[in-house]
């Protein structure tokens, strides 16, 4: 294995990226050896725990999606980032990896020399975006060095700009913690927060829902998630019928299979929460070293699941409301004669939950429900509009699920469709202006939008 291949593999591991950032920060702070060791390992272990919980959730969502499709006779395209990327890598592997490396380097350069101080740490999402960019830019006729340079700049620029766009909302969620949103569903979360601010009051938080003593167990996130998901699975299993469920359950009773899958889902969520606490406990203090010594005032942009602990009740509400939005969006697409986008349980859980958290931060209970419902509509219509610009990848029965992928893919695709490569050059020029102009403006904080 060459050094380049090893470096490529490291960049695909967000856990190692977090560990490297912590290591560099702790070295910059001149911490003793044992503190450097534990401070480096804990974010890595925390992210691996988060990933294990997410994998557990995804593996248990898969049969639920299949039962819903069978039980309610739905066929169409299921958005799933991992699925579309696995297909794309067979034809775009080299381009994707080259854009990924270039994008990460450009993100660090932007953080060092502009007011966009956000360092994007969610490596797997950078990987997904690199794949999208290689596909969409490839359909414009770009290839080789040209494709890598344009794709790398677009990835690096968006990695710095997207956390900044909604940082004022993120700080409402975290109550001042110095982290940013490092996830390419971000625009939908910010829209959810904006919608929340128009429909509700932040003081009416989901976390303040009053329950009587006999219903007090619902305040336990693990219990409330388990009960909600057990109900979801039971309805889907009954609708799909025992014959079909038997093909998923290895002969286990359909009802028992549904109940156990719901319980396992709740366990996955609990593992995610534990991993998040471990990440935040050590990454944020270590990042101060980077923020003070290497990239002054740097702000870590982290995965959406990191925000789950700030409003656990909004997580469940957001998932359910987003899924309902996805179902209604699918029906509207069907009536309009478009491609049916079947609600993907993975994007609706992770993106819907995060949209619920952001909607709750600005609009309380109403904000959580309506904001995440809007998210459900957005991540239904965006993948439908994205399909035509993906070229040969658009013929697969899956597509990118999160909202930013749809927005960037559609904008780049339509720009190149209208005026060819000049459309891409125009987008690059706009992004350069956005990155450079704030340097000549007086802002309240060194990192743009990172207000106290």
Tokens at residue 402, please? 């999160």
Give the residue from 287, 278, 299 showing the smallest Cα distance to 44: 278
Determine, yes or no, domain membership for 332: yes
Determine, yes or no, domain membership for 448: no
Determine, yes or no, domain membership for 211: yes
Which helix (H) or strand (E) segment holds residue 282: the answer is helix 254-289
| Cβ-based neighbours of 341, under 8 Å, separated by 6 or more | 76, 77, 78, 79, 326, 329, 330, 333, 380, 381, 383, 384, 399
Whole-prediction pTM value? 0.81
**Structural domains in the chain (count):** 1
Phi, psi of 79 (to 5 degrees): -65, 130
CB 317 within 8 A of CB 368: yes
Concatenated DSSP letters of 170-190: HHHHHTT-S-EE-STTHHHHH
Determine, yes or no, domain membership for 452: no
Determine, yes or no, domain membership for 427: yes
Local confidence pLDDT in tens for the 452 residues of the chain? 577 778 767 766 768 877 887 898 889 888 899 999 998 999 889 888 877 887 887 788 788 878 888 887 777 777 877 777 766 766 677 788 788 878 988 998 999 999 999 999 887 788 889 889 988 888 888 888 899 999 999 999 999 999 999 999 999 999 876 899 999 999 999 999 999 999 999 999 988 877 566 665 656 667 877 887 888 889 889 999 999 999 998 888 999 999 999 899 888 878 887 887 787 777 777 777 777 778 888 899 999 989 998 998 899 899 999 999 999 999 998 898 877 888 877 789 899 999 999 999 999 999 999 999 999 999 999 998 888 887 665 555 668 889 999 999 999 988 988 888 889 999 999 999 999 998 888 777 777 776 65
What gap in Å lies between CA 372 and CA 356, rounded to an integer?
5
> Which residue has 């290839």 as its token pair?
143
pLDDT for the residue 10: 76
What gap in Å lies between CA 148 and CA 288, rounded to an integer?
32
pLDDT for the residue 277: 77
* Residues spanned by the domain of 129: 3-440
Determine, yes or no, domain membership for 445: no
> Which residue has 């958290």 as its token pair?
357
Concatenated DSSP letters of 127-170: HHHHHHHHHHHHHTT--HHHHHHHHHHHHHHHHHHHHHHTHHHH
pLDDT for the residue 215: 60
Determine, yes or no, domain membership for 449: no
Determine, yes or no, domain membership for 421: yes
CB 192 within 8 A of CB 374: yes
């Amino acid at each position: 294995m060459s050094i380049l291949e090893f470096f490529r593999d490291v960049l695909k591991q967000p856990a190692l990226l977090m560990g490297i950032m912590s290591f560099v920060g702790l070295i910059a702070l001149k911490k003793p050896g044992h503190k450097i060791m534990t401070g480096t390992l804990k974010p890595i272990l925390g992210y691996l725990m988060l990933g294990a919980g997410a994998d557990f959730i995804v593996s248990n969502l898969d049969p639920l999606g299949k039962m819903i499709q069978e039980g309610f006779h739905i066929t169409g395209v299921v958005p799933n980032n991992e699925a579309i990327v696995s297909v794309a890598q067979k034809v775009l592997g080299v381009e994707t990896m080259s854009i990924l490396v270039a994008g990460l380097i450009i993100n660090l350069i932007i953080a060092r020399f502009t007011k966009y101080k956000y360092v994007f740490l969610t490596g797997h999402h950078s990987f997904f975006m690199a794949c999208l960019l290689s596909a969409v830019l490839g359909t414009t006729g770009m290839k080789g060095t040209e494709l890598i340079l344009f794709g790398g700049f677009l990835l690096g620029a968006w990695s710095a700009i997207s956390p900044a766009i909604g940082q004022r909302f993120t700080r409402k969620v975290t109550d001042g913690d110095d982290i940013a949103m490092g996830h390419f569903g971000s625009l939908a979360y910010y829209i959810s927060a904006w919608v929340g601010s128009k429909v509700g009051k932040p003081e009416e938080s989901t976390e303040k829902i009053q329950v009587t003593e006999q219903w007090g167990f619902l305040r336990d996130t693990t219990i409330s998630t388990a009960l909600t998901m057990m109900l979801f699975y039971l309805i889907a299993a009954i609708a799909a019928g025992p014959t079909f469920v038997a093909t998923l359950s290895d002969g286990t009773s359909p009802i028992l299979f549904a109940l156990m899958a719901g319980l396992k889902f709740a366990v996955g969520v609990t593992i995610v929460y534990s991993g998040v606490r471990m990440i935040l406990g050590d990454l944020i203090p270590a990042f101060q070293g980077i923020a003070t010594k290497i990239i002054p005032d740097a702000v870590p942009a982290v995965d959406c699941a990191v925000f789950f602990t700030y409003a656990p009740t909004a997580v469940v509400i957001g998932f359910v409301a987003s899924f309902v939005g996805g179902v209604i969006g699918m029906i509207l697409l069907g009536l309009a004669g478009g491609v049916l986008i079947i609600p993907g349980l993975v994007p609706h859980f992770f993106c819907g939950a995060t949209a619920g958290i952001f909607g709750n931060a600005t609009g309380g209970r109403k904000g959580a429900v309506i904001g995440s419902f809007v998210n459900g509509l957005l991540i239904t219509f965006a993948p439908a509009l994205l399909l035509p610009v993906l070229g040969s990848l658009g013929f697969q029965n899956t597509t990118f699920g999160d909202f930013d992928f749809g927005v960037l893919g559609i904008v780049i695709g339509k720009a190149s469709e209208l005026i060819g490569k000049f459309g891409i050059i125009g987008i690059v020029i706009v992004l350069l202006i956005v990155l450079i102009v704030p340097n000549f403006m007086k802002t309240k904080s060194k990192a743009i939008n990172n207000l106290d």
